[in-house]
Amino acid sequence: MGRLEGKVAVVTGAASGIGAATARRFAVEGATVVGWDAVGSDGLEVVDVRDEAAVAAGVARAVAAHGRVDALVNAAGVAGGGPVHAMDAAEWERVIGVNLTGTYLTNKHVIAAMLEQTPDARGQRGSIVNIASIEGLEGTEGGSAYNASKGGVVILTKNLAMDYGRRGVRANCICPGFIDTPMMGAVFDMAGMDHVRRSFVEAHALGRCGEPEEIAAAALFLVSDDASFVTGSALVVDGGYTAGHQHGIAAMMGLA
């Protein structure tokens, strides 16, 4: 029996990367997965998370079809940024719109549905996992809009935990390090970025970037009953990227 047997989960950004890996893992664990993405793909609903009417309709369809929504994973996201003095306002709005406003809108309508559901034996009605980033915890050169959006996701998640914990809804976020996804590839595959990619990889204590399946595993834990006493957390899954700084001393000690 899977860890999510009989559960219904909405996963945004389910066409690729972390969202796709999460949808697959949840299905293996027995969940009925309602996958959303802004682009058409087999088995997924086309939902632009910036469009409140589309989000509300998508939640209503999930409840009508399956009776409830037990989990939400917000993995829809876009990259973007640059120095603020040179950034077009439209680019700022695009990044904030998907990464932060989209997270707010999906939470708004899924939580409203969860509050109408009958709680389980522990009084739980549902679990939220928002995909933030380590770039929502610390600055990155050129990160501006992306970092701001992910920092907003972190603190929004903490507020959700405070507001809805006693109504049976848990809310947590995951702060991944640099994960090998199409979105990361689109950034690091640009001309002149080879040395930047190597620098980011080396900054992880484990000496590699993460895989989408490793973030999906963390999301599975957070929505499962194993995390029944976990809410308001920003779970860092970053291969040691934020653990500290490396300056070659480990190699001098024969450890690298």
| Catalytic residue ranges | 146
Q: Helix axis angle, 144-164 relative to 89-96, nearest 10°?
A: 30
**Please, is 177 exposed, middle or buried when counting C-beta atoms within 10 Å of its C-beta (0-12, 13-18, 19+)?**
buried
Vertex 220 angle, CA 217 and 222, to 5°: 115
User: Residue 157: what residue type?
Assistant: T
Cα→Cα distances 233→29, 146, 157, Å: 23, 20, 8
The amino acid present at 213, given as its one-letter code, is E
Contact 172, 161 (CB under 8 A): yes
223 burial via Cβ count (<10 Å: 0-12, 13-18, 19+): buried
* Amino acid at site 64: A
CA–CA distance, 223 with 160 (Å, rounded to integer) = 15
Element (H, E) at 157: helix 144-164
DSSP-assigned letter for residue 179? B
